[in-house]
């Protein structure tokens, strides 16, 4: 949503931690255990099958409880006055690669750098051969504003070489940096994002820090225009068609935001409690400069099956960091970014993620030391994925076809109860541009997110794994796919 239309001058958010949310999660998980036990009892499995199913369910629920315990251990790191002074002396450089971005979103992000409670020391914007515009107006405005704010800045336009090479141009322009912050060209930072992102670096073992990503357009595009250019209203059929399509986009945006935020506050928060975040997010992450500089050559020249890899740059930087020390998430460092509003755009983005995830899995198995918790967390994710897939296939295919046992209704309730329990973390995020009743409405849509995960995302996941040799980027080739003018009702 555009912050300017609603009269909110600054996008901001914070995580509200309360005993009510924790108790709600525990109650829903208790209901989940009861529903699973009830379903297994009613299914009339033969003794040997029932024992195997019980063992599988116990294993899954133990993992679920461990995960719940772990993500509640995550807390925003805090500073002592001495550590704050030490961090203040570090040179912080923000890298902004740009390719066919909407100028409105780009300017919104640059404005957010100026409002930081801890301003960056330098910002390096690299236009990676955009074909949609030359950003002349935004560039001239930024140079003036950065100079007034005392921020060193460069703006380069280079031949298209991909996001990694664009970042490398910025890195070469800031050899004095102690910390590199990577953002996307549509990233809009909350006012204290840089300050909070720096806090974990007070510990010398921390090598990278991930921020929390929220969707700027979390409620979909703006209401469509229902009048012609001459001011007359459209007839009822085109109006209904436009409104129906708009409502569908709104629902899709809400479900996507729910899925994205919950996954960060559940999966990644649990990893962060062990100092073993596996993947940082592109819209906001920070790295010690040595992590980036020492690995720059391999970062720029990664290949897979003889092909140059253009995707999954954030997870590769996180892997470099994990080899050296701790990789954590700072839940109080928030960034807003434009998420897909069309299914086709989301599909291409998700396929890129899954292809990159497959390649990165292979590298983790090969390069992560066995003594690192991140190695075993990575294996645990595969175990959960394979076991969950086997349970689903057994309940929906093997039992009905081979044993004539259809899943009970209680069994179908289990995933939704788990989803609602974990989704309560989503309700704990308080946004400056949205009321709690709107977020509660999104939380109630969790069954849609679960069904999407069971169907579309599962198919895309396996297809992405099978086609991981396609290592190109795949989006924004013909210009920006989401514009600020269309963001938000």
Mean pLDDT along residues 149-172: 96
Mean pLDDT along residues 3-31: 69
Report the alpha-carbon angle 230-235-239, nearest 5: 100
Could you tell me the residue ranges of all domains in the chain? 91-242+275-356+481-486
Q: What is the CA radius of gyration of the chain?
A: 23
pLDDT for 320 beyond 90: yes
Mean pLDDT along residues 25-43: 70
Query: How sure is the predictor about 363, in pLDDT bands with cuts at 50, 70 and 90?
Result: very high
pLDDT for 47 beyond 90: no
pLDDT score of 485: 61
pLDDT above 70: percentage of residues in the chain: 89
Q: How many CB atoms within 10 Å of residue 338?
A: 27
Query: How sure is the predictor about 215, in pLDDT bands with cuts at 50, 70 and 90?
Result: very high
Highest-confidence range of 224-233, 328-337, 400-409, by mean pLDDT? 328-337
Q: Whats the size of the chain, residue-wise?
A: 489
Give per-residue pLDDT as tens, 445-455.
999 999 998 88
Show the tokens assigned to 225.
């225009």
Q: What is the mean pLDDT of the chain?
A: 87
Q: How many CB atoms within 10 Å of residue 333?
A: 26
pLDDT for 431 beyond 60: yes
Cα 467 to Cα 355: distance, rounded to the nearest angstrom: 7
Highest-confidence range of 9-13, 206-210, 251-255, 465-469, by mean pLDDT? 206-210
pLDDT score of 481: 76
Residue 458: which of 411, 399, 391, 410 has the closest Cα? 391
Q: What angle in degrees, to the nearest 10, is found between the helix axes of 19-42 and 409-427?
A: 170
CB 13 within 8 A of CB 214: yes
Residue 478: which of 130, 167, 136 has the closest Cα? 130
Cα 434 to Cα 430: distance, rounded to the nearest angstrom: 8
106 vs 371, higher pLDDT: 106
Mean pLDDT along residues 87-110: 95
27 vs 7, higher pLDDT: 27
Cα 78 to Cα 336: distance, rounded to the nearest angstrom: 23
pLDDT score of 488: 42
pLDDT for 1 beyond 50: no
Residue 342 DSSP code: S
pLDDT score of 243: 85
Residue 186: which of 486, 431, 479, 482 has the closest Cα? 482
The sign of the CA dihedral 134, 217, 121, 7 is positive
- Kindly give, in sequence order, each residue whose CB lies less than 8 Å from that of residue 227, ignoring residues fewer than 6 positions away: 233, 234
pLDDT for 8 beyond 60: no
Cα 289 to Cα 175: distance, rounded to the nearest angstrom: 9
The per-residue DSSP string of 348-387 comes to HHHHHHHHHHHHHHHHHHHHS-TTSHHHHHHHHHHHHHHH
CATH number of 91-242+275-356+481-486: 3.90.550.10
């Amino acid at each position: 949503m555009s912050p300017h239309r609603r009269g909110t001058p600054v996008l901001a958010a914070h995580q509200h931690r309360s005993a009510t949310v924790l108790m709600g999660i525990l109650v829903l998980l208790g209901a989940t255990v009861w529903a699973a036990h009830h379903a297994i009892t009613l299914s009339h499995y033969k003794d040997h099958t029932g024992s195997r199913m019980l063992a599988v369910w116990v294993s899954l629920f133990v993992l679920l409880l461990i995960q719940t315990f772990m993500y509640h251990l995550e807390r925003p790191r805090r500073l002592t006055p001495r550590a704050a002074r030490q961090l203040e002396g570090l040179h912080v450089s923000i890298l902004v690669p740009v390719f066919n971005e909407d100028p409105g979103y780009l300017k919104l992000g640059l404005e957010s750098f100026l409002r930081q409670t801890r301003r960056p020391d330098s910002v390096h914007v690299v236009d990676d051969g955009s074909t949609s515009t030359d950003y002349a107006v935004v560039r001239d405005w930024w140079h003036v504003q950065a100079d007034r704010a005392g921020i060193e800045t460069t703006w380069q336009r280079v031949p298209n070489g991909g996001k990694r090479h664009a970042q490398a141009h910025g890195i070469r322009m800031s050899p004095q940096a102690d910390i590199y912050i990577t953002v996307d060209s549509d990233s809009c930072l909350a006012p204290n994002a840089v300050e909070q992102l720096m806090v974990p670096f007070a510990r010398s073992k921390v090598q990278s820090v991930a921020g929390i990503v929220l969707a700027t357009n979390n409620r979909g595009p703006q209401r469509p225009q229902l009048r012609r250019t001459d001011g007359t209203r459209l007839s009822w059929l085109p109006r209904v068609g436009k409104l129906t399509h708009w409502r569908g986009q709104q629902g899709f945006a809400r479900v996507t935001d729910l899925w994205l935020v919950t996954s960060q506050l559940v999966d990644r928060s649990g990893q962060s409690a062990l100092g073993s975040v596996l993947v940082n997010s592109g819209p906001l992450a920070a790295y010690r400069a040595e992590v980036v500089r020492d690995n720059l050559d391999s970062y720029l020249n990664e290949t897979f099956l003889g092909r140059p890899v253009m995707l999954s740059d954030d997870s590769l930087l996180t892997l470099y960091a994990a080899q050296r020390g701790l990789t954590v998430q700072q839940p109080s460092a928030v960034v807003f970014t434009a998420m897909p509003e069309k299914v086709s755009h989301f599909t291409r983005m998700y396929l890129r993620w899954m292809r990159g995830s497959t390649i990165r899995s292979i590298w983790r198995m090969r390069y992560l030391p066995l003594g690192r918790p991140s190695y075993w967390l990575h294996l645990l994710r595969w175990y959960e994925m394979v076991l969950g897939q086997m349970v689903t296939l057994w309940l929906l295919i093997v039992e009905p076809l081979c044993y004539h046992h259809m899943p009970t209704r209680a069994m179908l309730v289990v995933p939704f109860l788990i989803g609602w329990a974990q989704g309560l973390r989503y309700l704990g995020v308080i946004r400056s541009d949205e009321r709690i009743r709107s977020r509660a409405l999104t939380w109630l849509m969790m069954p849609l997110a679960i069904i999407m995960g069971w169907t579309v995302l599962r198919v895309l996941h396996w297809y992405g794994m099978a086609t991981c040799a396609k290592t190109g980027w795949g989006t924004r080739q013909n210009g920006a796919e989401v514009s600020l003018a269309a963001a938000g009702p």
